[in-house]
Structure 1
Amino acid sequence: MRAPVSHALPAALAAILALSACASGPPRAPASASAKFTNIPYAAWEDYEPPYRFYPGDDVDVTVPSAPELSKTVTVQPDGRIAMPLIAPVMAADRTIPEVEAELSQAYAGQLLRPQVYVAAKAAPLKVYVGGEVGNPGIYDMAGDTDALRAIVQAGDFKSSADRSEVIVIRRGPNGAGMMRRVDLLNGLKSPAADLVPLRRFDIVYVPRSGVSAAGVFVQQYFRDLSPIQFGFSYAVNGQNR
């Protein structure tokens, strides 16, 4: 099911690029691809499985063994927080399971003798962004595992102006660094053995126009100024960003 692109997501890859600027090494791509993006400091691509991070709308199972009556399933609210009994709302958005567990346990330390809290993520859709020369660019909730080609098909398939051999996949890598790779989906349409790139949550798939310059302009300008998916959260709490 397609979700509309929110106006509250104005900084899509700003977070990734700010972090990836500290990463060293060019992307692992053919020389021809590297030449097109020489001033984009991406980390080398690797098949990295990022830790699960919560996102607004996610359901979270919270278990408090020493006080079972406090255990419940909560939803991450639009402001990124979850609400639990006896304590103030706790920030969960863009945090991993261990980070949320630690935050909740600390919050309950003043209420319980044994404040250990356990958190589990309930099944959540694989949310990816598909943009560029596709029928309906936007953020999509993918059912189950998927790859770049299937995501493009769900987004309305390639336009006639698309360069199917230069599809770009952006992923948040280790330590928040942005990783980029080029995928030849033209070959993927012909060969069952082709690597269609299995996608991870919050991956970005961009289909450029035919021609080298269009892809370069997108990566250099659009990714730096507009972020289709919010990779980092910054919420003001009592006048301070958290």
Structure 2
Amino acid sequence: MLSDRRLFLLTLGSASLASLAACASGPQRVERPMNGDFPGIPFADWTDQEPEYLLYPGDEIEVATPTASELTRTVRIGPDGRIALPLIGSVMAADRTLPQLQQVVSAAYAPQLVRPTVEVTLRQAGPIRVWVDGEVRTPGVFEMIGDLDAYQAVIQAGGFAPTSRQDSVALIRRGPGGSRMMRVVDLRPRRGEVVPLRRGDIIFVPRSTLGELAAFFTQVRAALPIGFSYSINGSNGSGFAQF
């Protein structure tokens, strides 16, 4: 499966090609691409259906073992996506649903307990972050305090740069079953869409010039052999996911 970084870069390259074609043929109506517009890139059809909650680094959970209460722990998922539990040690928790993590921990306890019953409960969600990149003044990771829409996230990122293509902003989101969805949104002030954001959304604002294309291809080639990791809070303290 392609990493988030590779999907992101491949999508941006495809979006740039579409933008170039639009520039060459004059003003056109902005379409909302679905997966069929990006051959070879495994994006699912866009849906507003809420996917099942996935655990993230920073979430606080309780891992209860009713048949061995001394093993019950309340733990916070680390920056690497893992938790530490007695007898079984480190377990990957991030990017799993609560039932999935219950199954994994139960299987790990099976050699240790006669009845390895496990109950996982979300006690407190960690910071809710969105990513804003591209032609904005201060790209980065931003925490959602209450409701936040795509245009407001761009404002938090310092607003659009003069070279931005405001009517063709890429939005990437996790869909049902862990799939990735992508659509293009119009964020022009007073004329654009109001697009509420969700945890983990990625917003990319492309350039309005041809120079973007070469940069995309360079990044795509550089990213191909690189995998995704859960080092979300790196040593530089930036809060960026490390790839």
The aligned counterpart of 2:109 is: 108
Taking a change above 3 Å as real, the CA distance of residues 107 and 73 of structure 1, as seen in their structure-2 partners, is same
1:14-163 residue pairs with structure 2 within 5 A? Answer: 14=6, 32=31, 34=33, 39=39, 41=41, 42-121=43-122, 122-163=124-165
Residue 185 (structure 1) aligned with residue 187 (structure 2)? yes
1:13 offset after TM fit, Å?
A: 2.7
Following the alignment from structure 1 to structure 2, what is the Cα–Cα distance between the partners of residues 218 and 199?
27
Residue 3 of structure 1 is matched in structure 2 by none
1:26 corresponds in structure 2 to none
- Contact 2:64 2:72 survives alignment (8 Å): yes
Offset at 1:142? 1.6
Q: Secondary structure at the match of 2:152?
A: helix
- Give the TM-score of the pair, scaled to structure 1: 0.69
- Alignment CA distance shift 1:112-1:56 (3 Å): same
Cα separation, 2, equivalents of 1:48 and 1:216: 33
Distance change >3 Å, CA 169–CA 214, structure 1 → 2: farther
Q: Deviation string for 1:116-154 (max 9, x for gaps)?
A: 111123222222110011121112222233221121121
Q: TM-score by structure 2 length?
A: 0.69
Percent of matched pairs sharing the same residue: 45
The one-letter code matched in structure 2 to 1:57 is G
Question: Greater RCO between the two (CA within 8 Å, min separation 6)?
Answer: 1
Structure 2: gaps spanning 5 or more residues: 11-28, 232-243
Query: Distance between the aligned counterparts of 1:217 and 1:202, measured in 2?
Result: 27
Alignment coverage as a number of residue pairs = 205
| Aligned residues: CA RMSD | 3.4
